Amino acid sequence: MCIPGDRNGLFLEAGASERLFGSPERLGKRLQRELEQLGYHAQAGSAPTPEAAWLIADEGLHIVLSGHIRQQLGPLPLPRLHLDKSQQAALERMGFRQLRDLLRLPRKALTRRFGPALPDYLDRVLGVLPDPRAMFHPPDTFSSKLDLPAEIHNCRALLFPLNRLLEELCGVLRGGDTAVQSLRIVIGHEDHEDSLLKLGLQSPTQDAGRLMTVLRERLERLHLPQAVRELRLDAPTLLKFNAGQHSLFRDTPAEQRQDIENLAERLQARLGDESVTGLTGVEDHRPEYSWRPRALNERPDCVALPHRPTWLLPSPSRCAIGDYEILAGPERIESGWWDGRDCRRDYFIIRDSHGSTLWAFREYKPHRGWYLHGIFG
């Protein structure tokens, strides 16, 4: 089956898909309908040979058997054939006007007058000779541009054309079993520098709804310096997609992690990338210096320390140890002499009168006394 556009076309081997999609004619109509929803115009035709399918696609014809090719393609005018221009001119001077005129001639006569290329071409059309075609390899990137029919002055009005670009992108992703984790949207103005919008996700996806949710949040924060005339969507890297199996109640660890990722993406889109971060470990014995903020796409590097609390207070708070019950300790920490923030402490796990488990230390240097420092969850 062949689907030609204004300049290019796509060959599909549809024989193995009949049980799933029906006849090539039915599959062709479905593809035409879905391409029209994306704003493309295409015609589909099918035949037992690639060249025959290409020649009849403009008429939307479908040939089932090889024996019908000669009859169905006979009325085609010579300019429709993929012939050398000099051969076509010579044939027209000799009075040939249609494909059937050539098919009536003996092969030896055609070979003697025009060489073996012309009869070999006709044999490929009829299926006498094989006609292998190069396989299509999708690109590793995606880029699509959309010229708007009218100027857009409102960010919210950009959702409709951007949704079309996202649907086109996700169709390419599903077809190639790939996904994206970052997008680049260029918003073109007539007399102003283009506006740039970057989208980053926590994990690869091929879900247009998820991308649109993040994009909607970003557009609410976007200020348009001028009316928009065109849009371009770029996906610089297409990643392999690992589709997991979903459970009925979305209670698997992978699904729960995905829900957290979706929330983080929406918060970043609304508040900014710098406002939503994660935590990672730092090799330092002092608790207040043993962590730092990290970007959400940065891999965390932490070591589990179950004897230390989950939450640290913003700064240690003085306390009277007599008001608490000591459960465990001490843990001596003496460090920091090299950077001017040296300390000498004994840490204890304690319990208050309400039953809360806390973390406190006795400071010997630089400020002696007892301090609360953390809370066990």
Q: What is the pLDDT of residues 181-226, one digit of tens each?
A: 889 999 999 889 999 998 888 888 888 988 998 898 888 888 899 9
- pLDDT value, residue 114: 86
Please give the domain boundaries of the chain with CATH numbers for all domains. 2-126 (no CATH), 142-243 (3.30.1490.100), 287-375 (no CATH)
DSSP code for 252:
S
- Kindly give the parts of the chain with pLDDT less than 70: 1-7, 243-252, 254-256, 258-259
| Secondary structure of residue 323 in the 3-state scheme | helix
Within 10 angstroms of residue 264's Cβ, the number of other Cβ atoms is 16
pLDDT digits (tens, 9 = 90+) for 45-89: 999 999 999 998 888 889 989 889 999 999 999 988 988 888 888
DSSP code for 116:
S
CA distances from 356 to 95, 166, 311, 315 (A): 102, 50, 13, 19
298 and 310 in contact (C-beta within 8 Å)?
A: no
pTM here?
Answer: 0.59
| Secondary structure of residue 217 in the 3-state scheme | helix
Q: Where are the alpha helices (DSSP H) in 128-235?
A: 159-176, 208-220
Q: Round the CA-based radius of gyration of the chain to a whole number and report it.
A: 34
DSSP code for 300:
P
Strand (E) positions, 108-225?
A: 142-152, 178-189, 195-205
218 and 121 in contact (C-beta within 8 Å)?
A: no
| 324 φ/ψ angles, rounded to the nearest 5 degrees | -130, 160
Place of tokens 């710098």: 274
Name, in order, each residue with C-beta under 8 angstroms of 162's C-beta and a sequence gap of 6 or more. Answer: 185, 212, 215, 231, 233
> Which of 272, 141, 289, 281 shows the shortest CA–CA distance to 200?
272
273 and 199 in contact (C-beta within 8 Å)?
A: no
- pLDDT value, residue 152: 92
Residue 357 CA to residue 324 CA, distance in Å, equals 10
- pLDDT value, residue 1: 63
